Amino acid sequence: MQGEAERLAEKFCVDEYTDYSIYKYLASQERRPELRRILEELARDEWEHYLFWKRILGRDCRVEVGRGKLRLILLMRKIFGLTFTLKFLERHEEEVIQEYKNYLKYLEGEERRRLEEIIHDEEKHENELIGSIEETIVKYLSFIVLGLADAIVEITGVHAGFLGVTSKTVMAGIAGLVVGLSAAISMASAAYIQAKSDPTRDPAKSALMTGLGYLGAVILLAAPYFIVTSMLIAFLLSLAAGIGLIGLFTFYSSIVFDRPFAREFTESTLLMLGTALASYLFGEALGRHFGLRPE
């Protein structure tokens, strides 16, 4: 075997065994039978792929996965759900498939045919298995994101407006909470009505996800105003929290739905900052007109 071909075969062999070990571990920890079945099938696929590369390599290549890494992946599964975890683990799949296709030039006959089958598994079968997973967090993700995104833009605007009206951070924080609570109820009601026309969605769950997403963002964005006494510092901390939230739900969505992260993150951040600027200018104008300037 040529040097480059051997190096690649060893790399592929180690990667497939690592994936097998992770899926097998997740399956052993999974309580839902339907999800355990999917994980076991994924593990079987990776085991067969590992055996293939082991034969090509002519020797074993096992590198045991550390318990710490396995526990970290299990924690990710518990916090973010199985769909996100599997998509995250498979995020370089397109690159791997291309590398497998490039490796075909080193193979002939039955070995080449078998690698073509493995490529098909990677392109179709595993994606279909992951796509068949049904989780509440993914099913209602659009409602969660709707609540978070709307809250970030609206409450950041409220806080920015108060920069030119008052120097009392508690007042700005309370205003954000009051506006946020009423808006959360309004958004939840709208989500309930919207879901009633969709037979695949439960209206109560849709409303709950939207409302909780909104309230969670409101509380996080308002928190700095009850911790520090400087309006500017409180606003900057709240702004940083908003950008962090945008980054979190954009990254989650980009992994689950295979969307570009950078573009969506930039658009959402610019929308929030633009709203904050417009609200600040409006609040500044109101403060000047009514003599409500910060002390």
Least confident of 30-44, 112-126, 218-232: 112-126
198 and 61 share one domain:
no
What average pLDDT does the segment 75-97 reach? 88
Q: What percent of the chain has pLDDT over 90?
A: 38
145 and 199 share one domain:
yes
* Range among 43-52, 181-190, 210-219 rated most confident: 43-52
Q: What pLDDT, on a 0 to 100 scale, did the predictor assign at position 91? A: 82
pLDDT higher than threshold 80 for residue 282: no
* Range among 37-41, 118-122, 140-144 rated most confident: 37-41
25 and 112 share one domain:
yes
* Integer Cα distance of 281 and 276 in angstroms: 9
pLDDT digits (tens, 9 = 90+) for 236-258: 999 899 999 999 988 988 888 88
Domain that residue 83 falls in: 3-131
In a domain, 269, yes or no: yes
In a domain, 169, yes or no: yes
pLDDT higher than threshold 90 for residue 70: yes
Q: What pLDDT, on a 0 to 100 scale, did the predictor assign at position 149? A: 82
Q: Identify the domain boundary among 107, 131, 155.
A: 131
Q: Which of 103, 179, 109, 190 is nearest to 142 (CA)?
A: 190
* pLDDT bracket for residue 268 (50, 70, 90): confident
**Into how many domains does the chain fold?**
2
Q: State the SS3 of 116-176.
A: HHHHHHHHHHHHHHHHCCCCHHHHCHHHHHHHHHHHHHHHHHHHHHHCCCCCCHHHHHHHH
pLDDT digits (tens, 9 = 90+) for 145-172: 878 888 888 888 888 877 766 778 898 8
Cβ neighbors of 228 (< 8 A, separation 6 or more) are: 169, 234, 237
Residue 214 φ/ψ region, left for φ over 0, alpha for ψ in the -120 to 50 degree band, beta for the rest: alpha
Mean pLDDT for the chain? 86
Q: What pLDDT, on a 0 to 100 scale, did the predictor assign at position 280? A: 72
* pLDDT bracket for residue 2 (50, 70, 90): low
Whole-Å CA distances, 45 to 104, 122, 201, 211: 19, 9, 33, 41
Q: Identify the domain boundary among 103, 131, 159.
A: 131
pLDDT higher than threshold 90 for residue 44: yes
168 and 63 share one domain:
no
183 and 250 share one domain:
yes
Q: Identify the domain boundary among 91, 110, 131.
A: 131
CB 195 within 8 A of CB 201: yes
* Integer Cα distance of 209 and 232 in angstroms: 32
What average pLDDT does the segment 32-61 reach? 93
In a domain, 124, yes or no: yes
250 and 158 share one domain:
yes
120 and 160 share one domain:
no
Longest pairwise C-alpha distance within the chain: 85
201 and 227 share one domain:
yes
CATH number at residue 29: 1.20.1260
CB 81 within 8 A of CB 138: yes
